[in-house]
Structure 1
Amino acid sequence: MSQPSNNTQAAYDDNNLFAKMLNGDIPCHKVYEDDKTLAFMDIMPQAEGHVLVIPKQKAIDLGDLEPEYAAAVLMTSKKVMLAQRQVFAREGIIQMQLNGAQAGQTVFHYHVHLIPTNIHELGRHAATEADHAKLAATAKQLAVVINV
């Protein structure tokens, strides 16, 4: 089936922040990694413990994702969410995924947000950079729980 002619989505940018993390060009506070995914702390969190899960596939949004990578992102998200519940002693985890600039996507590499907070307490997206020492400590706590 051919693509609609009004498709306005740009081509994947190999210089986006998440591609640079996957290439090892910039650091991240890693929570979990396997052959298809990477989970790390959001440096501009909407709440304490905000984690992003990305595929190791060049994909801008859900429509670009190959099924095996979509499944891997879901399984990694599940591991992270279970760890967040334990570390933060809470049931509620906001699971959010934004497709395209009009929906609020700011890094154009597919990613899932896992945010241990109440929807009514959710902070503004990409508003304030977090303390990196605290992010590193939280990443370590979550990683320990995932790897038990």
Structure 2
Amino acid sequence: MSASCEIPSFKLFETELTYSFLDIQPTSKGHALVIPKEHGAKLHNLSDESLKDLLPVAKKIVKLLNLTNDGPDGQGYNILQNNGRIAHQEVDHVHFHVIPKLDDKSGLGVGWPAQPTDFEATGNLHKELLARIESEKL
């Protein structure tokens, strides 16, 4: 550990706006983090400039870890980014996880509690959102 008492990191890539390193509490071999140098607690707090720089770095890590097998079988990976405590964010600084899925036991396990579609409610929500897009110029 350095004299400044920083947490050790194992840097992978660094750009003017982004820093990436191996996770020191990995869920699988090669688990890495990609973080913006700009502080933002949640994704919507970051500038578009910072956001545009993050995913290309994540892509480089995927290639570095040889996770580019495009066949249906073989290794995969998850890109994970959480916002807010209720969404399992533990660090108040935006960060993306690149998590190799090397087998059934390692990496991220995801459950997806999908609900049946209520087309009327979904249609109403769609109309509301389109109105907000127009009125707020999002």
TM-score (norm 1): 0.60
Pick from 35, 40, 45 the counterpart of residue 21 of structure 2: 40
Structure 1: runs of 5+ lacking an equivalent: 1-22, 126-148
Alignment partner, residue 107 of structure 1: 91
Structure 2 CA distance for aligned equivalents of residues 68 and 124 of structure 1: 29
Alignment partner, residue 135 of structure 1: none
Pick from 27, 37, 45 the counterpart of residue 64 of structure 1: 45
**1:61 maps to amino acid:** K
Q: Comparing both structures, which one devotes a greater share of its residues to strand?
A: 2
Q: How many residues align?
A: 102
| Alpha carbons of structure 1 residues 75 and 124: separation in structure 2 relative to 1, 3 Å | closer
TM-score (norm 2): 0.64
- TM superposition outliers: structure 1 runs of 4+ over 2 Å: 23-27, 118-125
Residue identity (%): 35
Structure 2: runs of 5+ lacking an equivalent: 69-73, 110-138
Structure 2 CA distance for aligned equivalents of residues 111 and 119 of structure 1: 24
Tell me the C-alpha RMSD between the 2 structures.
2.8
